[in-house]
């Protein structure tokens, strides 16, 4: 199956961001673990064999590190959550008066640790969802699909997103080469011998990319009237401010009445500004990726998960945000869990990635 049958990369990003949005609506560890399992299954089933697609493991490790740091902060710096189940009492460091509200050491309660675990797991799940987008969506194809107004910013974002996967691939290659030569690849000395060539290779790729962009005339803009430029700036800036205000209203209880209308109005103004801004950067696309039925299914499944969890949070907030005082075991709500399983649709509705052909061995001369 050729690349033309692949799913639009923007659909994968919308699916992943929607799962991340669903993760922000709950602190239930069972639902968060289910979201991680859904994203991991889809990545395992539909991840292509490419260097940029191998960064999912790095995002999982980063999520675990964030979770561990959150727990360490809760133990060392204390927590505002009251608790009666004392796990351990650490030596408390006295602080000056201007540091009121901050505590170093002291009592560590089970309620505070569980609250930190729920909070850190939510952020870790969001990172895992972003890692799924990096592993499923081709950065170069995503760059081709960006509107003209975002092309320059898109190049910077794509270079930043591809830097980490290439860095990880180079580090693995150099460590394997050092092991084959019988040299150490661990410890500070091994890290220095591996890190310097990796950074040198990253710098060479950046210089080569800049030279290729300059040779192709990148950055040239077309002349547009001043009125169009002012209208574009007004619509884009006003739209982004409206999106920020509307998002804040949607995420908070106080802005439930004005949040969604302001968000939709800001989104419409921002899209109009981007459409006008694209007139300054005319460019052609070679074989643009179509947004077909599979892309709608992928993006729609993620949007359905986010919408259903938002609805569940408004109807039964206790199920999605279990309390820690008193300390009770979390329960898995049935229909929110079934809503999360809708995110598995891309694993069955999208084509499998092309297998990498095995290398043909050289024939021995007769």
219 φ/ψ sector (left φ>0, alpha ψ -120 to 50, else beta): left
**What are the C-alpha distances in Å from 350 to residues 11, 40, 41, 295?**
11, 16, 13, 9
Q: Which pair of structure tokens corresponds to residue 131? A: 């890692």
75: pLDDT strictly greater than 50 = yes
Predicted confidence (pLDDT) per residue in 327-364, tens digit: 888 888 898 999 999 999 999 988 887 765 544 454 54
CA angle 29–34–37, rounded 5-degree value:
125
- Name which of 366, 300, 327 is nearest 87 in CA terms: 327
C-alpha 142/C-alpha 51 separation (Å) is: 16
The pLDDT score that the predictor gives to residue 106 is 75
Average pLDDT, the chain: 78
366: pLDDT strictly greater than 50 = no
Residue with tokens 């289910």: 34
Q: Say if CB 15 and CB 294 are below 8 A apart.
A: no
The pLDDT score that the predictor gives to residue 222 is 64
328 φ/ψ sector (left φ>0, alpha ψ -120 to 50, else beta): beta
5: pLDDT strictly greater than 60 = no
C-alpha 348/C-alpha 265 separation (Å) is: 35
Binning pLDDT at 50, 70 and 90, where does residue 243 land? confident
The pLDDT score that the predictor gives to residue 191 is 62
The pLDDT score that the predictor gives to residue 355 is 63
Predicted confidence (pLDDT) per residue in 182-222, tens digit: 776 666 666 666 667 777 777 777 677 667 766 766 655 66
- Name which of 44, 51, 48, 62 is nearest 126 in CA terms: 62
Q: What is the DSSP letter of 97?
A: G
Binning pLDDT at 50, 70 and 90, where does residue 35 land? very high
C-alpha 267/C-alpha 244 separation (Å) is: 10
C-alpha 260/C-alpha 256 separation (Å) is: 7
Torsion of CA 15, 60, 347, 53, to 10 degrees: 90
39: pLDDT strictly greater than 90 = yes
Strands 104-109 and 86-93: antiparallel
Q: Say if CB 258 and CB 252 are below 8 A apart.
A: no
Residue with tokens 């040239």: 220
Residues 6+ apart with CB under 8 A from 293: none
Pick 241 or 4 by higher pLDDT: 241
Residues 6+ apart with CB under 8 A from 81: 109, 111, 112, 115, 324, 325
Torsion of CA 306, 311, 312, 315, to 10 degrees: 160
Beta-bridge partners for 88: 108
Predicted confidence (pLDDT) per residue in 312-330, tens digit: 888 888 888 888 878 888 8
The pLDDT score that the predictor gives to residue 4 is 44
C-alpha 340/C-alpha 302 separation (Å) is: 9
């Amino acid at each position: 199956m050729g690349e033309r049958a692949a799913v639009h990369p923007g659909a994968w990003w919308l699916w992943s961001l929607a799962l991340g949005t669903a993760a922000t609506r709950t602190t239930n560890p069972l639902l968060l673990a289910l979201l991680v399992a859904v994203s991991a299954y889809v990545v395992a089933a539909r991840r292509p064999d490419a260097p940029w697609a191998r960064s999912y493991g790095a995002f999982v490790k980063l999520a675990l590190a964030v979770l561990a740091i959150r727990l360490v902060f809760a133990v060392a710096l204390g927590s505002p959550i009251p608790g009666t189940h004392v796990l351990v009492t650490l030596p408390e460091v006295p602080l000056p008066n201007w540091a009121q509200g901050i505590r170093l050491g002291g009592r560590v309660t089970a309620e505070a640790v569980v609250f930190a675990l729920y909070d850190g797991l939510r952020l870790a799940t969001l990172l895992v969802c972003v890692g799924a987008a990096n592993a499923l969506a081709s950065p170069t194809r995503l760059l081709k699909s960006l509107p003209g107004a975002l092309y320059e910013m898109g190049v910077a974002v794509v270079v930043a997103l591809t830097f980490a996967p290439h860095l990880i691939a180079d580090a693995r290659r150099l460590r394997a080469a050092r092991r084959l030569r019988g040299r150490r690849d661990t410890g500070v000395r091994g890290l220095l011998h591996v890190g310097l060539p990796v950074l040198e290779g990253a710098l060479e790729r950046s210089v080569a990319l800049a030279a290729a962009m300059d040779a192709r005339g990148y950055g040239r803009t077309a002349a547009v009237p001043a009125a169009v430029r002012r209208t574009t700036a007004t619509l884009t800036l006003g739209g982004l401010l409206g999106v920020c205000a509307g998002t804040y209203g949607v995420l908070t209880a106080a802005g439930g009445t004005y949040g969604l209308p302001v968000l939709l109005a800001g989104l419409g103004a921002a899209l109009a500004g981007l459409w006008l801004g694209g007139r300054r950067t005319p460019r052609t696309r070679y074989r643009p990726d179509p947004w077909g039925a599979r892309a709608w299914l992928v993006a729609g499944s993620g949007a359905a998960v986010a919408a259903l969890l938002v609805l569940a949070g408004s109807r039964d907030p206790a199920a999605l945000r279990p309390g820690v005082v008193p300390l009770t075991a979390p329960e898995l709500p049935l229909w929110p869990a079934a809503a999360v399983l809708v995110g598995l649709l891309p694993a069955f509705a999208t084509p499998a990635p092309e297998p990498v052909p095995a290398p043909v061995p050289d024939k021995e001369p007769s």
